[in-house]
Amino acid sequence: MDKQRVYITSGVSGSGKSTWIKDNNLDSVSTDELVDDYAKSNGYTYTEAFEEIQSKKLFGNMNSIFYDNIIHSINSGKDFVIDRTSLNHYTRKSLIDFIRTYTSDAIITVVIFKVSKKIVLERLEKREKETGKGIPKEVIEKQFESFEEPLYVKEKFDELVIVK
């Protein structure tokens, strides 16, 4: 039997992570999906749900569910993607260490998305018009500033994939 593959996406919002997951027909674990579910169950847009989750300080609950979903996906034995921005060494290493707590056999692949700020902003503007899912420009600016190239030496992943 093939080893389970766990992919960790790394890229700013709007860089194509979710599209890549769909194009590769992979299951995913995502806090965005949890926010979407919250929005649908409460009759909100994504943006409204995100703001309410922040104001009610519900992200801790969302993170608990997120990590439970990772454990469930590991236990399933099926390949899956952790769909998050995962912009820095610490975030990716924390996820890798968490995965390794539950499986030492999985192949962990970091998938980085290198897309220009101009293209990202165009995509996000289009997404907001189509879906109501808005992300403030200053958030995207901070994401670009905080991105760190993955380093095997610090993070201990098995493979690296670059999507442009």
pLDDT of 30-54, one tens digit each? 998 999 899 999 999 888 888 888 8
Q: Please count the residues of the chain.
A: 164
Considering only residues 131 and 119, tell me which one the structure prediction assigns the higher pLDDT.
119
Provide mean pLDDT across the span 81-87.
95
Structural domain harbouring 32: 5-163
Q: With beta carbons less than 8 A apart as the criterion, state whether 26 and 128 touch.
A: no
Output the pLDDT for position 90. Answer: 96
Q: What's the distance, Cα to Cα, between the start and end of the chain in Å?
A: 32
Strands across the sheet with 27-29, in order? 27-29, 80-82, 5-10, 107-113, 159-163
Whether the predicted pLDDT of 142 surpasses 70: yes
Whether the predicted pLDDT of 134 surpasses 80: no
Output the pLDDT for position 60. Answer: 87
Q: Which of 8-17, 108-117, 122-131 has the lowest mean pLDDT?
A: 122-131
Nearest-angstrom CA–CA distance, 74 and 6: 8
Output the pLDDT for position 1. Answer: 65
Count up the domains in the chain and report the number.
Answer: 1
Backbone angles phi, psi at 140, to 5 degrees: -65, -40
The CATH number given to whatever domain includes residue 136 is 3.40.50.300
In which band, very low, low, confident or very high, does the pLDDT at 111 lie, cut at 50, 70 and 90? very high
Output the pLDDT for position 136. Answer: 82
In which band, very low, low, confident or very high, does the pLDDT at 66 lie, cut at 50, 70 and 90? very high
